[in-house]
Structure formats: structure tokens, C-alpha cells
Amino acid sequence: MATERIDGTLTIAETSELTGLSPSTLRYYERIGLIDSVERGPDGRRRYQAADLAWMAFLLRLRTTGMPIQGMLAFAELRRGGDATVRARLELLGRHQAQVRKQYEAVMRSLDAIDDKIAHYERLVEEQDGDSGRQA
């Protein structure tokens, strides 16, 4: 960290480093309302707080599990609605989870089938190796 600030805030570059999101993506997420408008320093530049980082970490988990931006946006909007929306958020997450698990099962079934294909190819390769002496 080149310029350590006395408050715990981070520049966009540092936040980018920590989250793995590019500065452009950070600005993009803010623009579309996925991240609440970030505080600015006296120079007009963004200063990310710990709370922002925590929220982004959560967003990243949603993204990792395949939630589309529209879904994350819906969650972000509920969050802005405060305590009254807790139940709705719970439902949103629950539905997402069920969906992820369902998809995961489909993926695993396909992966098993691919396994079979691999086994098939392995037999082929063995035959080729075995034949190499006998063939022309």
C-alpha cells in the first residue's frame, strides 16, 4: 500500500486489487446501482470503506454461484429497503440456492457422462498402444 490513509479507506486501485474487480467494473457496479454510491475524498475520488468491501465480497459470492446482475440488483434494492425487506431477501437467497443446487446436480450428471467418454477413450488409447507392434 503506497499511500496509507489514516482512516481505513481504500482507493479504487486498492479496492480493485483486493476484490479482483477492475476499477472499471467497480465504477460500473456503482453506476448500475449494485454498489451504493461510494464516499468521495476532498479531491472527488472514491474512498471505499470496510462496509463497501464486505458488501462486494457478498456480491462476489452471488456472482460466483452464477446469479445474474439483475438478481444481484434485486437483492441490492431490497437491502436499501432496510429491515422490512429481510423476509424478501431470505426468499430471494433461498430460491437462488435451490436453483444452484439443482444446476449443480445437472452438471454432475453431465460430468459423469463425460467420465464415461474419457474411459472409452482410455481404452482406445490402450488398444492403439497394444496394436503398435502387431500393425503395419
Partner DNA sequence: GTAGGAGTTGAAGCGCGCTTCAACGCAAGG
Partner DNA sequence: CCTTGCGTTGAAGCGCGCTTCAACTCCTAC
Task: Give me the residues that bind a copy of itself (CB under 8 A), please.
Answer: 58, 60-62, 64-66, 83, 86-87, 89-90, 93-94, 96-97, 100-101, 104, 106-108, 110-111, 113-115, 117-118, 121-122, 124-125, 128
- Cβ atoms of 10 and 56 closer than 8 Å: no
| Residues β-bridged to residue 98 | none
Residue that has been written with the C-alpha cell 464486505 in this structure: 54
We find the least distance from the C-beta atom of residue 9 to a copy of itself, in angstroms, to be 25
Cβ distance to a copy of itself smaller for residue 25 or 128: 128
The x, y and z cell numbers of residue 97, run together, are 440456492
Q: Which of residues 65-124 bind DNA (CB under 7 A)?
A: 68-70
Size of the site for DNA (CB under 7 A): 21
- Cβ atoms of 67 and 98 closer than 8 Å: no
- Cβ atoms of 65 and 75 closer than 8 Å: no
How far is it, in rounded angstroms, from Cα 91 to Cα 111? 30
C-alpha 131 chain-centroid distance: 48
Task: Give the x/- contact pattern for DNA in 12-31, rule: CB under 7 A.
Answer: xxx-------xxxx-xx--x
Cβ distance to a copy of itself smaller for residue 18 or 114: 114
- Rule CB under 7 A: which residues touch DNA? 11-14, 22-25, 27-28, 31, 40, 42-46, 63, 68-70
